[in-house]
């Protein structure tokens, strides 16, 4: 139990039209990369909304390192070390790279010393942050932008990072760079929970895999098992070409 | 359940009208109440009219009462010259207001910007100035006085009451008609996303001018009646900015963009106005009360009272509803029939000849500031081909798409489609000619259902088509069939914003098929879509292609591109680096270096 970064227990949640999550159980190991795959509309993004507090679970519980965060506000959950890299482009294109990242550090703005330390940490981890510090974010390529988006969440030194389709819209070369960064992020104990449509990429990146279907977890297993699971292949990967 | 609720709404509407009709009959001595209701009607009429332009089409006018003044003065001047009562000229007042709106709209609505809001205020104030100073025609600031009809002494306000009521009924009927027609769908699509609306065949300039004229019509009609009711008009009273503010407030309080919201809001504001006069007296109390109403509305019921209440009720009803999940395995297996006549136009004069070009781009340049996004692209897309366009992020693929479809004008170069030079044509004309495109980040009309999104495209721009009911006729059948083909039938009534990103991509693909396009341009169709649906998607592309539809596809999913395309152009830094068959491109050193990546990290990873 102490090894669990995040646990969702029998979570029900939905919007106006009914319950999208229907009794979802999910366990994310500390320091792991866990990848959720599943059909479009299975409720993957909704899981993220519940974890980050944007959507309240109407039943069940959400535990962060054993403590319930179910009734916390999004801001409080952020303070507890859960950050998210959103699905669509979310940088401020007119602001410089550095300004964008400092915006991510809004929570710690009153502690300039800490902010400086964190900035140095992020720069070391993602060199492009230093190289392109003063360029407008809008001038970066897609892959570079994704790196800056990740950098922006790292400045809060999160323990759990949620990533919604990090490979979306990226060219193959950029996908390789971003993948490598994601792997590197967990080296110092961070946990990454990601959503991927590209199952093979997702399972290559992850330690643990989760297959969702119709608002529930269908399979939960080590990533390499899922990639080779014939059931997953038939229901999800489509027929082999 | 659904039909029951519908009749319930209808019952309330019938009851509402019946009460209003019967009030003077049942309460003949209710002169004060009737005069109060006349103000209610006036505000409801104005708020509903405003709603056509600002609620449906999304162009906010803050000087809309100028059309009331135009109607008032048209009736007054004609009445003075002919010696008859002004309300006989109500239809002429309406036509004058519409003509005035047409003139103004043709000038001010060409561009899209927030400047329109300011311009509407400026128009109101300048018309007031002109009317004050054109003394020979308008009597200047002394205004015009009318003699009362002889029945005024015995019948009091009652005849006016019915005149205003008739105009209100007509106005509500007009808004209802617009909302049910394809025209209304067009207005809403402009509000939700104007550039997208243009790309699916909606002539946005024309639509906005029509919306402006229609929204001015009720003002002109009621204005000519209103001037006789007042007995005296002057420029400051007729072109008051305060009325403009009240009517906007009325629409906001009730709920803009809805049929009954502005009516409700009009009544609400009229009563609040009266209450502030009766109970606290004086202009300043009124302004204070209206201010409080505005703050309350914006903070607590931003969509308006009626809408908020309706949403609350619906949420309560939806509690036990189950969510439809898409069974994707079944969809991929299933082979829904698709009548190709429904997604393709009749073969044009020159029948598919595979050596012939459908689209030619010659020496196209486009830069933004110092960035040369497209730097001299020349390419030739063969009719009936599936052509791929790949390249690193930021290499200009989407900009090239935008120049071809007319979202941006190119700096130089020409685009030829089906033998016609379309370089200078508007996006909607290109759509009518058979060009359809999707967007990388889907652009659907967020306030509409899936089915509404599908019937929004305007394949042929005829008046008949625009006025037709959007939920009847062959369009809807076609839409349903295409949705079924895409496996999206169960989402027909869902709001598109409730769908996941991948589902939205499929809806957008379905949407452009409604244009019966000759060429379909897809911007990253497979990104964010799960593998099963990608398979379904490529099946659909192949099937349509077999029937002669040409495809131009931007995509990063390399196995998909290599498997699907006949020919591939590789774009790098705004220029075509390599062109060739999939085989040639895959083995090209330069392509591997710039795009595919030198390392084999992801070899075999892509699905």
Averaged confidence pLDDT in chain A: 85
| Predicted pLDDT of residue B396 | 87
What's the rounded Cα separation, in Å, for the pair B315 and B448? 18
Per-range mean pLDDT, top range of A66-70, B44-48, B524-528, B597-601: B44-48
The shortest C-alpha distance from A11 to chain B (Å) reads: 15
- A54 vs A75: CA distance, rounded Å: 10
Give yes or no for residue B600 having a pLDDT over 50. no
Residue-level pLDDT at B3: 43
Contact yes or no for A191/A6 (Cβ under 8 A): yes
| Judgement on whether residues A54 and A129 belong to the same structural domain of the protein | no
Q: Which residues of A touch B601 (CB under 8 A)?
A: 176, 179-180
Q: Does B28 score more than 90 pLDDT?
A: no
Top-confidence range, B56-70, B140-154, B270-284: B56-70
**Percentage, residues of chain A above pLDDT 90:** 16
Backbone angles phi, psi at B526, to 5 degrees: -95, -10
Considering only CB atoms, B323 lies closest to which of A20, A174, A213, namely A20
Q: Between chains, do B528 and A165 touch, taking CB under 8 Å as contact? A: yes
Q: What is the pLDDT of residue B338?
A: 66
Which of B500, B503, B574 is the best residue to mutate to test the A interface, defined by the most A CB atoms within 10 Å of its own CB? B500
The structural domain count of chain A equals 2
DSSP A33-69: EEEEE--TTSSHHHHHHHHTTSS--SEEEEEETTEE-
Single out the residue in A101, A122, A157 at which a domain terminates: A157
Residue of A16, A39, A135, A195 to mutate when probing chain B, most B C-beta within 10 A: A39
Give the residue from chain A lying closest to B391, CA to CA: A171
Gap from B554 CA to chain A (nearest CA, Å)? 10
CB pairs under 8 A, 24+ apart, for B131-137? B131/B69, B131/B73, B131/B235, B131/B238, B131/B239, B132/B235, B132/B236, B137/B77
Reported ipTM: the value is 0.72
- For residue B368, the chain A residue with the least C-alpha distance is A139
Q: Distances in Å between the alpha carbon of B417 and those of B384, B414, B423, B429, B547? A: 13, 10, 9, 12, 19
**Residue A210, domain extent:** 1-81+159-241
Residue A208 and residue A134 in one domain: no
**Regarding beta strands A4-15 and A18-29, do their DSSP bridges make them parallel or antiparallel, or are they unpaired?**
antiparallel
The burial class, CB within 10 Å (0-12 / 13-18 / 19+), for B331 is buried
Measured between beta carbons, the chain B residues lying within 8 angstroms of A165 are 501, 528
Shared domain for A111 and A211, answered yes or no, is: no
Of the partner residues A15, A168, A200, the one whose CB lies closest to the CB of residue B498: A15
A137, A238, A239: which to substitute to probe chain B, counting the most B Cβ within 10 Å?
A: A238
Find the helix packing angle between B531-546 and B501-513, rounded to 10°: 10
Q: Are B425 and B480 in contact (CB under 8 A)?
A: no
A68 closest CA partner among A1, A132, A9: A9
Domain end point (choices A110, A133, A157): A157
The whole-angstrom distance between residue A228's C-alpha and the CA centroid of its chain comes to 24
What number of C-beta contacts closer than 8 Å exist between A and B?
A: 145
CA distance to partner chain B, nearest, from residue A93 (Å): 14
- Residue B318: list chain A partners with CB under 8 A: 16-18
pLDDT in tens, B39-83: 999 999 999 999 999 999 999 999 999 999 999 999 999 998 888
For CA atoms B597, B599, B603, B606, give the dihedral sign.
negative
- Which residues in chain B are closer than 8 Å to A139, comparing Cβ atoms? 371
- Is the CB of A215 less than 8 angstroms away from the CB of B323? yes
A169: which chain B residues are within 8 Å (Cβ-Cβ)? 393, 440, 524, 527, 556
Phi first, then psi, for residue B519 (nearest 5°) are -125, 135
Whether the model pTM is above 0.95: no
Percent of chain A with pLDDT over 70: 93
Contacts of B440 in chain A (CB under 8 A): 169
DSSP character at residue B543:
H
Q: Where are the beta strands (DSSP E) in chain A?
A: 4-15, 18-29, 33-37, 59-64, 67-68, 82-85, 160-164, 191-195, 208-213, 216-222
Which of B198, B186, B320, B260 lies closest to B15, judged by CA? B260
Residues B528, A197: C-beta atoms closer than 8 Å: yes
Instruction: Label residue B104 by pLDDT band (50, 70, 90).
Output: very high
Q: Which pLDDT belongs to residue B365?
A: 92
pLDDT band (50, 70, 90) for residue B210: very high
Of A142, A157, A172, which one is at a domain's C-terminal end?
Answer: A157
The reported pLDDT for the residue numbered B322 is: 58
- Is B534 part of the contact surface with chain A (CB cutoff 8 Å)? yes
Give A173's contacts in chain B (Cβ within 8 Å): 392, 595-597
**Residue A7 pLDDT greater than 70, yes or no:** yes
Q: To the nearest whole number, what is the mean pLDDT of chain B? A: 86
- Kindly state the average pLDDT of the residues B518-541: 86
From residue B564, alpha-carbon distances to B12, B247, B267, B508, B532 in Å are 56, 56, 60, 20, 16
- Predicted pLDDT at B77: 92
HEC profile for B177-202?
Answer: HHHHEHHHHHHHHHHHCHHHHHHCCC
Are residues A75 and A165 both part of a single domain? yes
Q: How close, in Å, is residue A176 to chain B by CA atoms?
A: 7
Report d(CA B57, CA B54) in Å as an integer: 6
- Identify the pLDDT of residue B350: 47
The beta-carbon neighbor of A171 closest among B318, B320, B393 is: B393
Q: Do A77 and A166 sit in the same domain of this protein?
A: yes
What is the pLDDT, as a whole number, of residue A241?
A: 36
Domain identity same for A197 and A232: yes
Q: Determine the residue of chain A that is closest to B497 in CA distance.
A: A15
- Residue in B closest to A165 by C-alpha: B528
Say if the Cβ atoms of A172 and B527 lie within 8 Å. Answer: no
pLDDT tops 80 at residue B320: no
- Asked if the Cβ–Cβ distance from B601 to A180 is below 8 Å, we say yes
Q: Provide the shortest C-alpha distance from residue A9 to chain B (in Å).
A: 20
The mean pLDDT of B405-417, rounded to a whole number, is 90
Whether the CB of B500 is below 8 Å from some CB of chain A: the reply is yes
pLDDT at B257 over 60: yes
Q: Are B537 and B488 in contact (CB under 8 A)?
A: no
Residue B125 has φ and ψ, to the nearest 5°, of -70, -40
**Same domain flag for A153 and A171:** no
Percent of chain B surpassing pLDDT 70: 90
State the DSSP H helix or E strand holding residue B278, giving kind and residue range, or none if neither.
none
The residues pairing with B145 across neighbouring beta strands, listed in sequence order, are B232
- With left for phi above 0 and alpha for psi between -120 and 50, is residue B238 left, alpha or beta? alpha
Q: Which of A86-90, A195-199, B210-214, B307-311 has the highest mean pLDDT?
A: B210-214
Handedness of CA A111, A116, A119, A121 (dihedral sign): negative
Chain A residues within 8 A of B599 when measuring between CB atoms: 176
Q: Do B323 and A19 touch (CB under 8 A)?
A: yes
Q: Return the residue of A nearest to B326 by Cα.
A: A41
Query: Do A240 and A170 reside in the same domain of the chain?
Result: yes
Query: What span, in angstroms and rounded, lies between the C-alpha atoms of B516 and B416?
Result: 19
The pLDDT tens digits of the residues spanning A19-68 come to: 888 889 999 998 899 999 888 778 888 999 999 999 888 889 999 988 88
- What is the enclosing helix (H) or strand (E) of B412? strand B412-417
CA B435, B440, B443 angle in degrees (round to 5)?
75
Q: What are phi and psi of A187, to 5 degrees?
A: -60, -40
For residue A175, the model assigns a pLDDT of 87
The conformation of residue B599, written as its DSSP 8-state character, comes to S
Q: Same domain, yes or no, for A42 and A10?
A: yes
Averaged pLDDT, A200-211: 88
* Same-domain check for residues A168 and A234: yes
pLDDT of residue B605: 46
- H helices present in A186-232, as ranges: 199-205, 223-228, 230-232
Helix extents (H) in B86-134: 90-108, 115-133
> Are the beta carbons of B500 and B444 closer than 8 angstroms?
no
Q: What angle do CA A96, A101, A102 make, to 5 degrees?
A: 95
Chain B residues lying within 8 Å of A15, measured CB to CB: 498
pLDDT at A16: 66
pLDDT at B400 over 70: yes
- For A113-152, what is each residue's pLDDT tens digit? 888 888 888 888 888 888 888 888 887 877 888 888 988 9
CATH number at residue A219: 3.40.50.300
Residues A46 and A57 in one domain: yes
For the cut 70, the answer to whether the pLDDT of residue A2 exceeds it is no
Is B303 within 8 Å of chain A by CB?
A: no
If 0-12 CB within 10 Å is exposed, 13-18 middle and 19+ buried, where does residue A163 land?
buried
Kindly list the residues from chain A whose CB atom is less than 8 angstroms away from the CB atom of residue B390: 171
Nearest by CB: A17 against B332, B498, B531: B498
CA distance B311 to chain A (A): 9
**Token pair in block for residue B533:** 């649906």
**pLDDT at residue number B453:** 92
Q: Is the domain of A11 the same as that of A72? A: yes
Closest CA to B553 of B406, B434, B396, B438: B438
């Amino acid at each position: 139990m102490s090894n669990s970064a995040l646990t969702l227990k029998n979570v029900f949640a939905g919007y106006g039209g009914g319950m999208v999550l229907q009794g979802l159980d999910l366990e994310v190991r500390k320091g792991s990369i866990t990848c959720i795959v599943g059909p479009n509309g299975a409720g993957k993004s909704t899981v993220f909304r519940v974890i980050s507090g944007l959507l309240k679970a109407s039943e069940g519980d959400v535990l962060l390192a054993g403590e319930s965060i179910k009734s916390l506000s999004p801001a409080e959950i952020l303070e507890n070390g859960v950050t998210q890299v959103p699905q669509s482009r979310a940088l401020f294109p007119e602001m410089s790279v550095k300004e964008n990242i400092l915006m991510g550090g809004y929570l710690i703005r009153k502690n300039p010393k800490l902010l400086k330390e964190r900035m140095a940490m992020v720069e070391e981890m993602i060199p492009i942050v230093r190289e392109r510090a003063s360029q407008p974010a809008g001038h970066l390529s897609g892959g570079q932008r994704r790196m800056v988006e990740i950098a922006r969440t790292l400045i809060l030194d999160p323990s759990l990072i949620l990533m919604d389709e990090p490979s979306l819209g990226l060219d193959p070369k950029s996908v390789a760079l971003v993948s490598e960064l994601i792997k590197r992020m967990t080296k110092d104990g961070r946990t990454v929970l990601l959503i991927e449509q590209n199952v093979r990429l997702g399972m290559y990146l992850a330690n643990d895999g989760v297959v969702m279907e119709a608002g529930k977890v269908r399979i939960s297993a080590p990533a390499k098992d899922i990639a080779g699971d014939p059931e997953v292949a038939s229901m999800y990967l489509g027929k082999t070409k | 359940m659904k039909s029951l609720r519908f009749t319930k709404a209808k019952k309330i509407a019938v009851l509402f009208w019946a009460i209003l009709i019967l009030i003077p009959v049942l309460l003949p001595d209710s002169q004060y109440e009737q005069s109060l209701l006349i103000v209610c009607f006036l505000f409801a009429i104005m708020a509903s009219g405003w709603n056509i332009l600002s609620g449906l089409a999304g162009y906010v006018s803050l000087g809309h009462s100028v059309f009331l003044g135009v109607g008032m003065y048209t009736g007054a001047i004609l009445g003075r010259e002919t010696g008859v009562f002004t309300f006989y000229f109500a239809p002429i007042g309406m036509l004058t207001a519409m003509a005035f709106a047409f003139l103004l709209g043709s000038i001010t609505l060409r561009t899209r910007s927030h400047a329109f809001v300011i311009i509407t205020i400026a128009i109101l104030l300048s018309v007031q100035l002109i009317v004050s100073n054109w003394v020979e025609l308008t009597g200047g600031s002394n205004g015009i006085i009318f003699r009362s009809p002889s029945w005024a002494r015995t019948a009091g306000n009652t005849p006016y009451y019915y005149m205003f009521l008739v105009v209100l009924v007509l106005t509500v009927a007009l808004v209802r008609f617009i909302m049910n027609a394809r025209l209304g769908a067009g207005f809403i699509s402009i509000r939700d996303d104007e550039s997208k609306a243009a790309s699916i065949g909606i002539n946005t300039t024309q639509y906005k001018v029509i919306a402006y004229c229609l929204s001015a019509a009720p003002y002109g009609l009621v204005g000519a009646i209103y001037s006789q009711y007042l007995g005296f008009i002057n420029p400051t009273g007729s072109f008051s900015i305060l009325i403009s503010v009240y009517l906007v407030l009325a629409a906001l309080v009730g709920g803009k963009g809805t049929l009954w919201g502005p009516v409700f809001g009009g009544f609400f504001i009229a009563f609040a106005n009266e209450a502030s006069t009766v109970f606290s007296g004086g202009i300043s109390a009124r302004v204070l009360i209206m201010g409080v109403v505005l703050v309350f509305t914006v903070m607590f019921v931003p969509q308006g009272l009626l809408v908020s209440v309706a949403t609350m009720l619906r949420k309560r009803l939806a509690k036990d509803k189950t969510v439809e999940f898409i069974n994707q395995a079944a969809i991929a297996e299933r082979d829904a029939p698709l009548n190709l006549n429904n997604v393709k136009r009749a073969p044009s004069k020159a029948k598919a000849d595979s050596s012939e070009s459908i689209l030619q781009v010659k020496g196209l340049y486009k830069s933004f500031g110092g960035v040369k996004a497209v730097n001299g692209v020349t390419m030739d897309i063969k009719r009936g081909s599936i052509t791929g366009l790949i390249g690193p992020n930021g290499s200009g693929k989407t900009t090239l798409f935008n120049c071809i479809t007319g979202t941006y004008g190119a700096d130089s170069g020409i685009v030829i489609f089906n033998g016609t030079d379309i370089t200078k044509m508007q996006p909607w004309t290109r759509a009518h000619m058979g060009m359809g495109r999707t967007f990388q980040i889907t652009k659907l009309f967020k306030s509409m259902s899936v089915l509404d999104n599908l019937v929004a495209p305007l394949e042929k721009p005829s008046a008949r088509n625009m006025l037709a009911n959007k939920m009847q006729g062959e369009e809807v059948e076609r839409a349903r069939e295409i949705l079924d083909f895409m496996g999206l039938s169960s989402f027909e009534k869902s709001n598109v914003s409730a769908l996941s990103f991948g589902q939205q991509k499929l809806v957008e693909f379905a949407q452009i098929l409604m244009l019966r396009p000759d060429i379909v341009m897809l911007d990253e169709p497979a990104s964010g879509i799960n593998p099963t649906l990608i398979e379904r998607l490529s099946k659909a592309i192949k099937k349509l292609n077999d029937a002669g539809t040409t495809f131009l596809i931007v995509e990063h999913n390399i196995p998909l591109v290599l498997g699907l395309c006949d020919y591939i152009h590789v774009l790098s830094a705004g220029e075509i680096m390599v062109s060739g068959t999939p085989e040639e491109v895959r083995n090209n050193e330069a392509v591997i270096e710039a795009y595919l990546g030198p390392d084999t990290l992801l070899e075999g990873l892509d699905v």
